[in-house]
Amino acid sequence: MNIASQAAQIGLDWDTRTGAVTVPIYQTATFRHPGLGQSTGYDYSRSGNPTRQALEDGIAKLDGGCRGFAYASGMAAITSLLFLFSHGDHIIVTEDLYGGTYRLFEKIFNQYGLEFTYVDTSDTSAVTSAIQPNTKALFVESLTNPLLKVADISALSALCREKGLLCIVDNTFLTPYLLRPLDLGADITVYSGTKYLAGHNDTVCGLVVVKDPELAEKVYFHQNGAGAVLGPQDSWLAIRGIKTLSVRLDRQQENAQTIAEWLTRHPLVRKVYYPGLPGHPGHELLKAQGSGFGAMISFEVADPSLVEPLLLRTGLISFAESLGGVETLITFPEVQTHADIEPEKREKLGINKVLLRLSVGIENVDDLIADLDQAFAIEEAA
């Protein structure tokens, strides 16, 4: 079945007793046992909750995995995956990755003896060169944040299989609607469900999908053991969001393509990063491995003095962190999402004083362009 159909119908058959079309919110901490040593399949909501399970089953299906897991946030999901490793293990990581993931690895898990090496994962040979005897995994963002580099998930998965490493893909920017890393050979996908999957800037959640049942057992043990599970209300919001994933992303991508093309023609824009542009280094690769280019655009303005007007004088577009929702947001990665990365490292990566990031929403594209245009025009007039 097409993924758009699967997404629309997530949770549909859950409540066979009443035939409810949407999943009920099972707002309960515990469940009555029918008899001694008997269980309905649910005992306590940290271990399992029907609303959460509808979401977990749904995302597993969308991603082509054997089992899904829902967490209180994307960071909680990534944290839970790190419990698969022990003191002395080494993990290779995408260098321009989400700032919060970098902070988790460098400021928290470093203390527990995990080692991380950051490389440009759009360069498979750079990953190969970074492998050490104690390397246990690759943690790769399929489309990076904020520079939108594209990783060759097929080649990286093959490399991981050959070297006995776990291939973990943070597929937040693309979602299974645009890229299915498990089909390409990866072992685990992880999502900030807060972004495109839930899609409405109304809940924070994290999701994981695992391909292999034995590995899924371990991930479940850690999910239940550490306990950072997603509550039933937020699980319901995530399910509700996923139902419209395909229509939202279709519109968001269409808008992003138009805006990216408009930005490339703007005299006050120095550089545009959008994989849907034919000149983007990952364009052909993403076209071959995925089914779309997403709706994130990063761009450099001609002068640092343009940054503030663009952030503050856009009206329809909100100056806010996060991404993936139906509302268009503009962010300044250097001081917002990537503030925890050391200044020299940021500069080297290209996260600089003139780089802005747009998360394109579903609004009318002419309105969005008019909003950007007037913000640029104010500065030109000044």
Ligand X SMILES: *Cc1c(COP(=O)(O)O)cnc(C)c1O
Nearer to ligand X, 206 or 232 (CB): 206
- By CB under 6 A, the residues from 152 to 171 that bind ligand X are 170
Residue 318 CB, shortest distance to ligand X, in Å, is 17
Residue 164 CB, shortest distance to ligand X, in Å, is 25
C-alpha distance from residue 308 to each of 211, 311, 340, 377 (Å): 45, 5, 21, 13
C-alpha distance from residue 306 to each of 104, 340, 343 (Å): 32, 23, 21
Q: Which residues are catalytic?
A: 46, 98, 170, 195
The half-sphere exposure of 149 on its side-chain side, counting CA atoms within 13 A, is 19
- By CB under 6 A, the residues from 57 to 86 that bind ligand X are 73-75
Tokens of 99: 């700032």
- Cα separation, 334 vs 286, whole angstroms: 26
Nearer to ligand X, 192 or 257 (CB): 192
186 touches 301 (CB < 8 A): no
* CA 189, 192, 193, 197 torsion-angle sign: negative
DSSP string, 199-225: -SSS---EEEEESSHHHHHHHHHHHHH
- By CB under 6 A, the residues from 226 to 285 that bind ligand X are none
Residue 213 CB, shortest distance to ligand X, in Å, is 25
- Residue 101 is a binding residue for ligand X (CB under 6 A): yes
Of the residues 206, 290, 292, 333, which one makes contact with ligand X according to CB under 6 A: 206
Closest residue to ligand X: CB criterion: 74
Of the residues 45, 79, 142, 172, which one makes contact with ligand X according to CB under 6 A: 172
Of the residues 141, 234, 371, 379, which one makes contact with ligand X according to CB under 6 A: 141
- Cα separation, 181 vs 189, whole angstroms: 7
Residue 107 CB, shortest distance to ligand X, in Å, is 15
99 touches 53 (CB < 8 A): no
- Residue 98 is a binding residue for ligand X (CB under 6 A): yes
Binding site for ligand X (CB under 6 A): 73-75, 98, 100-101, 141, 145, 170, 172, 192, 194-195, 204, 206
